[in-house]
Structure 1
Amino acid sequence: MSRILITGSSKGLGRATALELARRGHEVIATARKVETLADLPVAQRLSLDVTSEASVRRAVEQAGRVDVLINNAAEIAVAPLESIPFEEVRNLYDINVFGALRMIQAVTPAMRERRAGTVVNISSVVGRVSLPLTGVYSSTKWALEALSESLRLELGHFGVRVVLVEPGEIGTGALDAPRAYFGENDPYLPLKAERQFRPREKMTPPETIARTIADAVEAPEQRFRWPAGADAEALLALRAKLDDPAFDTALRSAIKLQW
Structure 2
Amino acid sequence: MSSVLITGASRGIGRAIAIELAGRGHRVIATARRPETLAELPVDRRLRLDVTDQDSVDAAIRDAGEVDVLVSNAGESVRAPLESVPLDEVERLFRLNTLGALRVAQGVLPAMRARGAGRLVFVSSIQGRMVLPLIGPYGATKWALEAIAETLAIETRRFGIQVSLVQPGAVSSGGGERAKVHFDEADPYAPLLDALAVLRGEVVTPEAVAATVADTIEQAEPPLRVPGGAPAKSVLEARKAAPEDRPFLMTEIDW
TM range (shorter): over 0.9
Unaligned runs of 5+ in 1: none
Instruction: State the partner residue of 2:82.
Output: 82
Code of the aligned partner of 1:83: E
> In 2 relative to 1, CA 111–94 (structure 1 residues): closer, same or farther, beyond 3 Å?
same
> In 2 relative to 1, CA 159–231 (structure 1 residues): closer, same or farther, beyond 3 Å?
same
Deviation at 1:223, TM superposition (A): 4.0
Query: CA-to-partner distance for each residue in 1:59-98, whole Å, 9 max, x for gaps?
Result: 0000001100000000000010111100110111001000
Partners of 1:40 and 1:206 lie apart in 2 by 20
Deviation at 1:198, TM superposition (A): 7.1
Q: Please state if 1:215 is matched with 2:214.
A: yes
Instruction: State the partner residue of 1:109.
Output: 109
Deviation at 1:13, TM superposition (A): 0.1
Instruction: State the partner residue of 2:138.
Output: 138
> In 2 relative to 1, CA 233–253 (structure 1 residues): closer, same or farther, beyond 3 Å?
farther
Q: Secondary structure at the match of 1:197?
A: helix
Partners of 1:106 and 1:225 lie apart in 2 by 19
Query: CA-to-partner distance for each residue in 1:153-206, whole Å, 9 max, x for gaps?
Result: 0111011111111111111111122421111563111111233237899x5101
Partners of 2:147 and 2:159 lie apart in 1 by 19
Deviation at 1:253, TM superposition (A): 4.5
What TM-score does the superposition give when structure 2 sets the normalisation length?
0.95
Partners of 1:84 and 1:230 lie apart in 2 by 33
Query: CA-to-partner distance for each residue in 1:195-226, whole Å, 9 max, x for gaps?
Result: 3237899x510110110000000000124211
Structure 1 residue ranges (4+ consecutive) displaced by more than 4 angstroms after TM superposition: 198-201
Query: CA-to-partner distance for each residue in 1:32-53, whole Å, 9 max, x for gaps?
Result: 0110000000001000111110
Give the superposed CA RMSD: 1.8
Partners of 2:163 and 2:74 lie apart in 1 by 17
Instruction: State the partner residue of 2:203.
Output: 204
Query: CA-to-partner distance for each residue in 1:89-143, whole Å, 9 max, x for gaps?
Result: 0111001000100110111101000100010001110000011111111001000
Partners of 2:123 and 2:19 lie apart in 1 by 17
User: Residue 254 of structure 2: which of 233, 238, 259 is its match?
Assistant: 259
Instruction: State the partner residue of 2:225.
Output: 226
Q: Secondary structure at the match of 2:30?
A: strand
Deviation at 1:9, TM superposition (A): 0.2
Partners of 2:198 and 2:152 lie apart in 1 by 33
- Mean alpha-carbon deviation: is it higher for 217-226 or for 41-50? 217-226
Instruction: State the partner residue of 1:2.
Output: 2
Partners of 2:222 and 2:174 lie apart in 1 by 32
Q: Secondary structure at the match of 2:28?
A: strand
**Percent of matched pairs sharing the same residue:** 48
Code of the aligned partner of 1:233: A
8 Å Cα contact 1:176/1:198 also seen in 2:
no
Counterparts of 1:86-165 in structure 2, within 5 Å, are: 86-165=86-165
Q: Secondary structure at the match of 2:165?
A: strand
Code of the aligned partner of 2:154: L
Q: Secondary structure at the match of 1:165?
A: strand
Deviation at 1:230, TM superposition (A): 1.7
Partners of 1:178 and 1:115 lie apart in 2 by 40
Partners of 1:12 and 1:208 lie apart in 2 by 9
Q: Please state if 1:188 is matched with 2:183.
A: no
8 Å Cα contact 2:239/2:248 also seen in 1:
no
Unaligned runs of 5+ in 2: none
8 Å Cα contact 1:164/1:226 also seen in 2:
yes
